[in-house]
Structure 1
Amino acid sequence: MLRHCKKRGEKERGGKRPKLDLEMVSALQTPLSCPFRVPFLNDSPSTSRTPRTVPPLCRRSVSAVPIPTVTDCAHENVIKKLLARPFRVPIPGYTGGCSNRLLGLRMSGVRLSLHDPYAENALVVFAPPELSAHEQLKLDDTKREVHVVVDPLLCAVLRPHQREGVKFMYDCVVGKRVEGHNGCIMADEMGLGKTLQCIALMWTLLRQSPQAVPAINRCIIVCPSSLVKNWDKEIAKWLHGRVNSLPIDSGKREDIIRNLKQFVSQTGQRVPTPVIIISYETFRLYTDILHEKEIGLVICDEGHRLKNSDNQTYQALSGLKCARRILISGTPIQNDLFEYYSLINFVNPGLLGPAQEFRKRFENIILKGRDADASMEQQQLGEQKLQELLGLVTRCIIRRTSALLTKYLPVKYELLCICGFTELQEKLYRTLIRHMDSEIRRQERSKGGVNNNTTLAFITNLKKLCNHPQLIYDKCHAKEAGGFADCLELFPAEFSTKKAFDPSQSGKMRVLDYLLAYTRRNSDDRFVLVSNYTQTMDAFEQLCQLRKYPFVRLDGSMSIKQRSKIVEKFNDPKSECFAFLLSSKAGGCGLNLIGANRLVMFDPDWNPANDGQAMARVWRDGQKKACFVYRLLSRGSIEEKIFQRQAHKKALSSCVVDEETDVARHFSLDQLKTLFEFNANTASDTHDKLKCKRCFLGRELKDPPEDADTNSDLTQWHHSERDFGKVPDQMLKAVRDCAPDITFVFHQKSHDGETNRLNSPPADNGKGRRDGAEEEDRESEGEETVEREEKGREGKERRR
């Protein structure tokens, strides 16, 4: 086959072999070189390449290895300067754990505190016990306790006393202060920020615990219906939307039931809606739903509503499956010690034993020792039992007085003004008490005894008469039973409730009329007028309309939304409202009325806590002006008797709650029972019963101690009967000069501070005259200075 192919190829080429091209062969034998290659200097075709030997690394000389040198000196200097200064934390004294903090991550199986316990201004409510190095090695990291630190967002706004309060409440609810009990009473006086302290505690428990998990997952806040929206706003204000709270007060029954069932059915450590705010009335209606599941924390605002352990609200809240209980009340004792027992027993059941044992062991002995007629032995035994009771309750109650506010608020002046009756009032008052005295004697002779309902109704009518005769005119005109038929003929013939309101028929109303007029003329101060009766508020309204004062009114007939709008309108700095008419029972708790700096408490309540709540509406956080709080009482009447009973109750509260042991025993029980005696021949029946040793013939010869606690002891106040020079209010002095109705003034101030510049003596031409006179004085002084300078220059020229 091969031969056949060769022969075939030869035939195709013509039978001849081709000749070899020698030049082509030589070109193929020489290696190819790049035509663009630049030859090296040491290249030569004659020299042959010899292989280079490389010594092993272990035999090389270090000095023989070439080191590159840096030619840029400036760059080298910069690097050296950077490396010469190691990094340091810019915060002085910072020892924070940067090593155990990860960005957005948590180390698996290692417990860490939610907030840095070593940060500046950190509030640590729980710190784990210190362990030795050997104990730390043996401890399992998954069981290690961590710090519990209040959120820095709240630490930035908490004041020192509030930080102390949060720590105290945390220790109580975790069972640290009283073993086996987890309750606490926050009894700070009004204006100290009890709401903020409880919000800080609630938020801490919802997020943290020593086990690095939330301590609770649900919280119920129970408060009066007027404060439900306010609590919701406060939570949003301080936590900036970090927690979802649900206010439940009004609405359809189906909606309330659905919301409550959704709340109690939530499970897990972090639930969508951990907080509900509910009124006492609504809670009582839906206890069957709220009692189904365990609740982590319950907060009861205005907790003195639970003073009666037999009412339905107390029983409903006591049945709640919740061990951690916080009760908020600025006045835990309002009437007697047994109410105090009810509050303690609610937050810490069984701490003071059964009710009968408490009465026998503490209450009866302490009250006998506090009586003005008690023997020395009774006083000593009462003091001994009081100290024993304090030793039990002070572990779960924290109480700070409003004296702490003196660091943050302007000065507050309290003035108790005793006002005389008008001639008409005195005649009506004597007629009524004469009839009531005979009625009481008749009932005592009968088998049925004294009718308490009749007595209480009569007391109410006497109190209304002290405010203004117009308030009982309709009863007199209708000739109702109780002595009113004999009173009709005492009224002037032209007297009628349909005519224009006449403030001059009442001593207290005449003082109020003067006070409003002088203040309106000489300053830009505004008033809050408080009363316990709707009829008296109607009289306030008629007075404001008569004098053309712009005003707003808040009473029990208004809804919660209407009340909020009225308060916002009055507190607006641009508001033209001069007076805020306030019902003590409808708005005495929780309202912030810092738009006014003067408050008049027109009539007293049997419960001193109600009056105290109402009088605290203007001296609160945000107030910038000096405050004046006036209390008006009719001289020698039932109003002074009621006030004396208030002082007796406040003295008891000071002993048990404030731990004061030197409150004077001023009024005996027999004196407090003489309610229907009328003493018109005195400047003040209250001052007479004090047996004051600092006053003589109507003049105060010795000032009270500067460090005296004037919370409940009137003997430590200033007393002014004839000499009104020490009265701190220029407006009240002006009223006294015009009207002799004011017969006595008790007065005291919260702390040393500058008086409001607007609290100046009345001027001749109204508002603005005083400033204009000062400008004229400054101009005259300037003119005299110029004249002296001109005379000096003329004298120099003459000498030359």
Structure 2
Amino acid sequence: MQNLHPKPGFPLAPGQSPLGPMILDRAEGITVPASINTYLREYQREGVSFFWDLYKQGRGGLLGDDMGLGKTIQVISFLSAIMKKHGDERDINRRRDHVSNIQDGVEWRQRRTLPLANKTWPTCLIIAPTSVVPNWEREFQTWGYFEVGSYTGSKKERDDILTDFKMGRLDVVLTTFDLARRDIAQLDDLAWSAVFVDEAHRVKNPKSKITLAYNQFTCLRRFGLTGTTIQNSYMEAWTILDWTNPGRLGTSKQWKGYVVKPLTIGQSTSATEEERTKALTVAITVRDKVLPQFFKRRTKDIIKDQLPTKTDEVVFCPLTPVQVAVYRRILHMNPVQNLVRKDENCDCGSGEKRKDCCHSIEKGGVLKYMSILIKISNHLALILPAPNDSPEQTLRNRELAEVAFPGQPIPKYGTAMLLPQYCGKWVVLDTLLREWRKDRTNKVLIFTKSVKLLDMLEFHLNTNSYGFLKLDGSTKQSDRMPMIDRFHQDSDIFIFLISTLAGGTGLNLTGANKVVIFDPNWNPAHDLQAMDRAYRFGQTRDVFVYRLLGAGSIEELIYARQLYKQQQMAIGYQASVQTRYFSGVQGDTSRQGELFGIKNIFKLHEDTLATKMAIEKATIMELDWALAHLSSSKSKKSAKSKADDWVYEADSKSGKEEADLRGLSALLFDDEPPEVTDDNDIHKTLSAIGVKYSHRNDDVLLPSRIEEERSRTALKEAKRKRAAAKKLKSERNQSTPQKSKTPEPQWPPRRKHHKAPLSPQSKLASRQMALIELGMINCPADLPVFAQSFARKSSEEQNEILARLDEHVRGRS
């Protein structure tokens, strides 16, 4: 068998044995060749089975695995099975030889006709981004002997590929998004057995030309690959899944009404208990009943036991006083104020809105001024005229600099690059690098998406005599591997400086154990790809990632929206019960809160840490609910006793009562950022240079046990109310008048000396006092820290704390 050179033919790992084929359908002979199956991980075999189960039903689906889990390999393994490949040299030119044999026959000589391309073996069209098509070609060559044609290049080259396909000579045709859209009339009704779209989130907009074109495929075995099915909203999931299974999820209007609206409203801090209950019910239904029919997703959690840990720290870097002053001046510019106040009545007294009267809006103004604010958040030199600017850029930057530095000479670009007062992130980066350099085994990746920032960082690193390499768009492909080898092997090379767009994908840099994202991207997928250059198979050390944000600036707002979107993903995929940090409701102009709308975009939070306050406020509200409602009893009773009626009170969010509870919280809540003790030396060092807040991104995305218990309580109460209403309606509908019934005696009987259980308000107040008296909280500043610590504890640990508080309360009384 080895003489047939099976592929991929990788060396076996120590202790690894060759496996037999993976059998999908024994009767039909559908198997993944042993040569491929040997190297698949178990979750990848599950992905192959997922494709096969849908394929044999004549429909498609969506594989939503995280990047790095091998979606490409799962597709190739599946295709090898349905195409009945051997996985060795017996597959070479199989189709071409088959067609030649047919052409030697009578049918061809008499009628000059060939059977459809998928008559003998299935065929496949794969649509991928232009930059990824060569990777698909390489993977097909690595994992088997496939007959693959690339529908790219000139028209003649593409026509030749189509001719080969129609004659039945090709297993797979690869093409790009734009070509598939443009040439859809030539592709839509060909004999495809399956159509795969890589990075299927490109079809998330139902009105885009790509989505409209791809819906023309007559092949209904349509499969998508993407790790970001829910990137911006729940509607995107419907569009992609509807492409894979037309009509099976209802209309977009139905999806919006039944899924999108309840989930987005339920995610808000201002959601009522009924809205929260409905959101949880919908999320569970989507997770358990809807998605499994079309969708399979695995995260990197399934391989975390095979990798070291990754810590993703978000550092809120204070803007310098000069940055704050310039930021303010930009916000006060007339074009920006016209955007912010566009819907106000015009000053002229016409009664018209400002935008429709004397204060017209600059076309493209929103993106223009957002871009300017992002630059200011990173380095003021980015808005100054630079030597390599075009004449148009020079003029634009000079006008901007005159606004930023009124009544004073405009700073020179070269000088400004070096001034720490122009960049609040410099001191943070300096501090991190100095700390890390104490251990000479540390190696650092620094990513930035800005070419100018890349040059500034290069100058900065040279000034500090750090050994480093730089990779950007101008780096030749042939130079990349030697640079990577040098980074790994040369102990004097401490830092690899990388353009996010040029080096965010395709690089293996497992020699690094520290990663800095200097200017985070609005699309979190780009930053995750950058982190994965170091955090991937082959990494042997724990990886620490530091994302630097301009505190109070538009960068913090962008990050807050990313958190919101990441929570959407957790809710949509897993029905995860998340802590509600924000009041804004996406898509609802009447409930924009602190996240949405133009006024939030053009705002500077100078003296408050908005994200920190939102997180602390939310965790304190959860703690309040836990102190007011959770029992410290470890026994779980399935049914309520009549005494429970003394404890239960209506939804705390909907009435005046909750305002009192929030008032009690306010007595303990401190608006000043508390000093948080941390054993981590880096945190102490950052605190010493003025960084008042940082947190681990994963920590704020953990499912909330308290919110889960609150939702469970709300669901039980909703069920009780429905049962009571049904019973009342049944009694009213009975034809014979009901005799008055004597109330059933309560058992055990309530004695005069028996005290009713504490109301939620009283329980909250007494437990809060116990927290202070027991020394769990020593001052108001301790409350946010305790609330976050309590939220992360197990149910048993929370119960123990509540029992200790209750015991103290009983002893005091």
Are positions 1:186 and 2:63 aligned together? yes
Q: How big is the shift at 1:749?
A: 7.8
Are positions 1:279 and 2:176 aligned together? yes
1:151 corresponds to: 33
Are positions 1:392 and 2:274 aligned together? no
Native 8 Å contact 2:448 2:518 kept in 1: yes
1:26 corresponds to: none
1:736 corresponds to: 686
Are positions 1:747 and 2:696 aligned together? yes
Q: How big is the shift at 1:174?
A: 1.8
1:53 corresponds to: none
Choose from 606, 613, 627 the match for 1:680. 606
Give 3-state SS (helix, strand or coil) of 2:332's partner: helix
1:434 corresponds to: 332
Q: How big is the shift at 1:292?
A: 4.8
Are positions 1:255 and 2:157 aligned together? yes
Counterpart CA distance in 2 for 1:285 and 1:326 is 20
Are positions 1:570 and 2:452 aligned together? no
2:657 corresponds to: none
Residue by residue, what CA displacement relative to the aligned partner does 1:268-323 show, whole Å, maximum 9, x if unpaired? xxx4x322332223333433433351212222222212211222222333323432
Give 3-state SS (helix, strand or coil) of 1:657's partner: helix
User: Which runs of no fewer than 5 residues in structure 1 stay unpaired?
Assistant: 1-100, 105-118, 129-144, 176-180, 697-719, 751-800
Choose from 215, 219, 222 the match for 2:124. 219
1:196 corresponds to: 73
Q: How big is the shift at 1:678?
A: 2.2
Give 3-state SS (helix, strand or coil) of 1:230's partner: helix
1:83 corresponds to: none
Choose from 454, 468, 473 the match for 1:550. 468
Matches within 5 A, 1:253-402: 253-258=155-160, 260-267=161-168, 271=169, 273-390=170-287, 391-402=289-300
The one-letter code sitting in structure 1 at the alignment partner of 2:472 is: L
1:463 corresponds to: 374
2:134 corresponds to: 229
Are positions 1:419 and 2:323 aligned together? no
Are positions 1:161 and 2:43 aligned together? yes
Matches within 5 A, 1:461-540: 461-474=372-385, 478=395, 484-489=401-406, 495-499=411-415, 501-502=417-418, 504=420, 505-520=422-437, 522-540=439-457
The one-letter code sitting in structure 1 at the alignment partner of 2:74 is: Q
Q: How big is the shift at 1:580?
A: 4.0
> Cα–Cα, structure 1 residues 499 and 680, in superposed 2: closer, same or farther, change >3 Å?
closer
Native 8 Å contact 2:468 2:495 kept in 1: yes
1:606 corresponds to: 522
> Cα–Cα, structure 1 residues 295 and 477, in superposed 2: closer, same or farther, change >3 Å?
closer
Structure with higher Rg: it is 1
Counterpart CA distance in 1 for 2:525 and 2:363 is 23
> Cα–Cα, structure 1 residues 670 and 185, in superposed 2: closer, same or farther, change >3 Å?
same
Native 8 Å contact 1:125 1:167 kept in 2: no
> Cα–Cα, structure 1 residues 277 and 570, in superposed 2: closer, same or farther, change >3 Å?
farther
Counterpart CA distance in 1 for 2:74 and 2:124 is 15
Q: How big is the shift at 1:345?
A: 0.9
Native 8 Å contact 1:477 1:485 kept in 2: no
Q: How big is the shift at 1:183?
A: 1.2
Q: How big is the shift at 1:243?
A: 1.9
Choose from 242, 246, 250 the match for 2:145. 242
Native 8 Å contact 2:307 2:539 kept in 1: yes
Give 3-state SS (helix, strand or coil) of 1:489's partner: coil
The one-letter code sitting in structure 2 at the alignment partner of 1:265 is: K
The one-letter code sitting in structure 2 at the alignment partner of 1:365 is: P
Are positions 1:648 and 2:564 aligned together? yes
Counterpart CA distance in 2 for 1:286 and 1:525 is 51
Residue by residue, what CA displacement relative to the aligned partner does 1:82-125 show, whole Å, maximum 9, x if unpaired? xxxxxxxxxxxxxxxxxxx9xx9xxxxxxxxxxxxxx9854645
Give 3-state SS (helix, strand or coil) of 2:298's partner: coil
Counterpart CA distance in 1 for 2:605 and 2:40 is 51
1:541 corresponds to: 458
Give 3-state SS (helix, strand or coil) of 2:601's partner: coil
Native 8 Å contact 2:22 2:33 kept in 1: no
> Cα–Cα, structure 1 residues 381 and 583, in superposed 2: closer, same or farther, change >3 Å?
same
User: Which runs of no fewer than 5 residues in structure 2 stay unpaired?
Assistant: 5-16, 87-117, 347-353, 387-392, 585-591, 622-672, 700-813
Native 8 Å contact 1:435 1:482 kept in 2: no
Matches within 5 A, 1:24-35: none
Q: How big is the shift at 1:582?
A: 3.9
Q: How big is the shift at 1:547?
A: 4.1
Q: How big is the shift at 1:741?
A: 4.1
> Cα–Cα, structure 1 residues 580 and 480, in superposed 2: closer, same or farther, change >3 Å?
closer
Counterpart CA distance in 2 for 1:600 and 1:374 is 37
Residue by residue, what CA displacement relative to the aligned partner does 1:41-92 show, whole Å, maximum 9, x if unpaired? xxxxxxxxxxxxxxxxxxxxxxxxxxxxxxxxxxxxxxxxxxxxxxxxxxxx
2:593 corresponds to: 670
Counterpart CA distance in 2 for 1:694 and 1:193 is 37
> Cα–Cα, structure 1 residues 279 and 724, in superposed 2: closer, same or farther, change >3 Å?
farther
Native 8 Å contact 1:479 1:485 kept in 2: no
Are positions 1:691 and 2:616 aligned together? yes
> Cα–Cα, structure 1 residues 540 and 310, in superposed 2: closer, same or farther, change >3 Å?
farther
Runs (4+) of structure 1 exceeding 6 A deviation are 479-483, 693-696
Q: How big is the shift at 1:639?
A: 1.2
Q: How big is the shift at 1:499?
A: 4.1
Native 8 Å contact 1:599 1:615 kept in 2: yes
Q: CA RMSD in A?
A: 3.6
TM-score (norm. length: structure 2): 0.63
Worse-superposed segment, 119-128 or 440-449: 119-128
Residue by residue, what CA displacement relative to the aligned partner does 1:379-427 show, whole Å, maximum 9, x if unpaired? 2223333333332222211111211221211221111111111222121
Residue by residue, what CA displacement relative to the aligned partner does 1:449-481 show, whole Å, maximum 9, x if unpaired? 765721221111111111100001239985779
Native 8 Å contact 1:264 1:292 kept in 2: no
Counterpart CA distance in 2 for 1:541 and 1:246 is 43
> Cα–Cα, structure 1 residues 236 and 594, in superposed 2: closer, same or farther, change >3 Å?
farther
Counterpart CA distance in 2 for 1:162 and 1:596 is 27
Residue by residue, what CA displacement relative to the aligned partner does 1:656-707 show, whole Å, maximum 9, x if unpaired? 123313443534331113233322324x3211111258799xxxxxxxxxxx
The one-letter code sitting in structure 2 at the alignment partner of 1:438 is: Q
Native 8 Å contact 2:33 2:85 kept in 1: no
The one-letter code sitting in structure 2 at the alignment partner of 1:264 is: F
Counterpart CA distance in 1 for 2:436 and 2:312 is 17
The one-letter code sitting in structure 2 at the alignment partner of 1:689 is: A
TM-score (norm. length: structure 1): 0.64
Residue by residue, what CA displacement relative to the aligned partner does 1:21-58 show, whole Å, maximum 9, x if unpaired? xxxxxxxxxxxxxxxxxxxxxxxxxxxxxxxxxxxxxx
Native 8 Å contact 1:428 1:490 kept in 2: no
Native 8 Å contact 1:528 1:581 kept in 2: yes
Counterpart CA distance in 2 for 1:481 and 1:502 is 19
Q: How big is the shift at 1:537?
A: 2.9
Counterpart CA distance in 2 for 1:582 and 1:304 is 26
Native 8 Å contact 1:219 1:295 kept in 2: yes
Aligned residues with identical type, % of pairs:
25
2:738 corresponds to: none
Q: How big is the shift at 1:335?
A: 0.6
Q: How big is the shift at 1:552?
A: 2.8
Give 3-state SS (helix, strand or coil) of 2:593's partner: helix
Counterpart CA distance in 2 for 1:158 and 1:681 is 53
2:549 corresponds to: 633
Native 8 Å contact 1:503 1:509 kept in 2: no
Native 8 Å contact 1:264 1:293 kept in 2: no
> Cα–Cα, structure 1 residues 590 and 348, in superposed 2: closer, same or farther, change >3 Å?
farther
